[in-house]
């Protein structure tokens, strides 16, 4: 998009031969792909293709039966979600999973939980180091609030916000963890054109300014083709295509999957 975009670097995350099934249902079979540092990577596919399951595997929420995931050169079979999170992977959710009873600011502050160290006792007294830490993180969160242009709603309980803003707060909460790899599950679902444009701008800015690697699932093909560096296409849990947006667009298997084909 802009000239300052960083070139894709070494492989950050490598997924090899991942297979996942729930009982008799094969959600993912033999999926492999690589995500390079600093790139915007998209996973697309029709409904039920296994895209969200793929993210859940990367997250450590699902444990695939076969295959391996290599992140920053470390291969793992099973990993707990909190270990994944502490290694710098954050995500947003398809159907917004904000903490509805809390304010925007508190939601974003919660995103920094892993970075905070003060123990129970120090916090209970809220004096000295604990207070100082709280304020430092508040300052960081204010930068995110500033970046996402949500200053006016920082004290509003998120349950009361409109959908588009909730999506934005959720992005803010993920950014608060200062992730190296940001997983976005349909960041633009259900948005109008203007909101989509804003969201695209935020995603690209995150990618530019912080160098965050983005892996997103999205159904809006216009958006995907415009902002992705590379795309992988899933259908019925299998990988049917991968490559630059133009390659994928002209891939016959992909066109068949989306438009349907007569058997």
Partner 1 sequence: MFYREAGQYKTSYVADQAVFPIRQDRYGIAIILLVAFVAIPFLGSTFLLQAVMIPFLIYSLAAIGLNLLTGYTGLLSLGTGAFMGVGAYACYKLTSVFPEVNILVWIIASGFVAAAIGILFGLPSLRIKGFYLAIATLAAQFFLQWCFVRIPWLVNYNVSNAIEVPQRQLGEIILTGPNSTPLTRYMVVLVIVVVMTWLASNIVHGRIGRMWMAVRDQDIAAELMGIRLLPTKLLAFAVSSFYCGVAGAMLVFLWYGGAEADTFNINQSFFVLFMIIIGGLGSLLGAYFGAALIFGLPILLRYVPAELGLPLHSATVEHLSFLVVGVLIIFFLIVEPHGLARLWQIAKQKLRVWPFPY
Closer to partner 1 by Cβ: residue 123 or 251? 123
**Alpha helices of the chain — where are they, by DSSP H?**
51-59, 81-86, 104-110, 120-125, 129-147, 163-175, 193-205, 221-227, 245-249, 252-259
Q: Residue 173: phi, psi to the nearest 5?
A: -65, -40
Task: Kindly calculate the radius of gyration of the chain based on its CA atoms and give it in whole angstroms.
Answer: 19
Q: For partner 1, give the closer residue by CB, 132 or 201.
A: 132
Closest CA to 156 of 107, 194, 199: 107
Q: Which is nearer to partner 1, 144 or 177 (CB)?
A: 177
Q: Using the rule CB under 8 A, give the single segment among 4-12, 121-129, 161-169, 250-258 that binds partner 1.
A: 121-129
d(CA 45, CA 188): 15
Q: How far apart are CA 97 and CA 167, in angstroms?
A: 9
Each residue 171-190 as x (binds partner 1 by CB under 8 A) or -, in order, gives --x---x-------------
Q: Which residue has the tokens 């004290």?
A: 155
Closer CB to partner 1, 39 or 170, in the complex: 170
**Residues 16-55: x where in contact with partner 1 by CB under 8 A, - otherwise, as a string:** ----------------------------------------
Among 135, 190, 211, 247, binds partner 1 (CB under 8 A): 135
Residues that bind partner 1 in the complex, under the rule CB under 8 A: 59, 61, 80-82, 84-86, 90-91, 93, 97-102, 106, 109-111, 113-114, 116, 118, 120, 123-126, 130-131, 134-135, 138-139, 142, 173, 177
């Amino acid at each position: 998009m802009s000239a300052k975009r960083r070139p894709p670097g070494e492989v950050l995350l490598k997924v090899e031969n991942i297979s996942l099934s729930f009982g008799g249902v094969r959600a993912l079979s033999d999926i492999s792909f690589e995500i390079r540092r600093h790139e915007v990577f998209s996973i697309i596919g029709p409904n039920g293709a296994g895209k969200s399951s793929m993210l859940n595997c990367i997250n450590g929420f699902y444990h695939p039966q076969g295959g391996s995931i290599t992140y920053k050169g470390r291969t793992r079979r099973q990993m707990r979600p909190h270990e994944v999170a502490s290694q710098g992977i954050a995500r947003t959710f398809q159907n917004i999973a904000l903490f509805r009873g809390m304010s925007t600011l508190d939601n974003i502050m919660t995103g920094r939980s892993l970075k905070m160290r003060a123990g129970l006792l120090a916090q209970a007294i809220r004096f000295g180091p604990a207070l100082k830490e709280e304020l430092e993180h508040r300052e960081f969160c204010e930068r995110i609030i500033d970046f996402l242009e949500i200053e006016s709603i920082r004290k509003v309980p998120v349950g009361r916000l409109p959908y588009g803003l909730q999506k934005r707060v959720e992005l803010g909460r993920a950014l608060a963890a200062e992730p190296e790899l940001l997983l976005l599950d349909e960041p633009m679902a259900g948005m109008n054109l203007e909101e989509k444009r804003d969201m695209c701008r935020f995603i690209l800015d995150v990618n530019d300014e912080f160098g965050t690697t983005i892996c997103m699932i999205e159904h809006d093909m216009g958006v995907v083709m415009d902002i992705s560096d590379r795309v992988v296409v899933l259908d019925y849990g299998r990988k049917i295509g991968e490559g630059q947006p133009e390659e994928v667009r002209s891939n016959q298997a992909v066109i068949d999957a989306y438009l349907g084909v007569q058997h």
